[in-house]
């Protein structure tokens, strides 16, 4: 009688082990076919970063999104002591902006635009493997006011690596 209970117990342990291994294999295959749950990020401007812009001037950060990622977006926030305009532009849009900032803004030819304000939260979806320009622009020509901009929440590009 003892031998049969031990034998039954060993069979049960073996069956449970096999089920656990099968579940682990299935979960692993599902993970390979899907998106990784971990994200990668690029910090463009850390929290607490402060800079100033004279009237009519702009400051830009050029960046490229990872080509091996999906669901790429940018977020963060800033404040300014005067009104500032912030844009996310493609290289073609940036080229046009350097020639005529107001023309680009009024045309709507941009990826994202904050409006003329004293602070905003950035939140935009971006394409993989593309170059962009994050542009801070002081259009306060009439008031001759210098803008001091502070990054409140790090301006960061996020993406999920594609499975392979």
Element (H, E) at 99: helix 91-99
Q: Which pLDDT belongs to residue 151?
A: 97
Q: How many distinct helices (H) and strands (E) make up the chain? A: 3, 7
CA dist 148 and 118 (Å) reads 10
Structure tokens at 49: 């970063």
Q: Summarize pLDDT for 106-142 with one digit per residue, the tens.
A: 999 999 999 889 999 999 999 999 999 999 999 988 7
Q: What digits encode the pLDDT tens for the residues 46-102?
A: 999 999 999 999 999 999 998 888 889 999 999 999 899 999 999 999 999 999 999
The residue with tokens 């449970």 is 16
């Amino acid at each position: 009688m003892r031998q049969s209970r031990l034998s039954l117990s060993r069979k049960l342990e073996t069956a449970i082990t096999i089920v656990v291994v099968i579940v682990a294999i299935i979960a692993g295959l599902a993970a390979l076919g899907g998106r990784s749950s971990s994200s990668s990020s690029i910090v463009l401007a850390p929290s607490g970063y402060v800079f100033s812009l004279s009237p009519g001037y702009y400051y830009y950060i050029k960046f490229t999104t990872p080509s091996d990622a999906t669901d790429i977006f940018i977020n963060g926030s800033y404040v300014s002591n005067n009104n500032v305009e912030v844009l996310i532009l493609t290289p073609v849009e940036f080229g046009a902006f350097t020639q005529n900032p107001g023309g680009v803004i009024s045309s709507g030819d941009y990826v994202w635009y904050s409006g003329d304000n004293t602070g905003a939260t950035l939140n935009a979806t971006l394409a993989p493997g593309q170059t962009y320009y994050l542009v801070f622009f002081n259009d306060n020509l009439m008031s001759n006011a210098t803008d001091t901009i502070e990054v409140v929440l790090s301006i960061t590009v996020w993406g999920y690596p594609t499975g392979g």
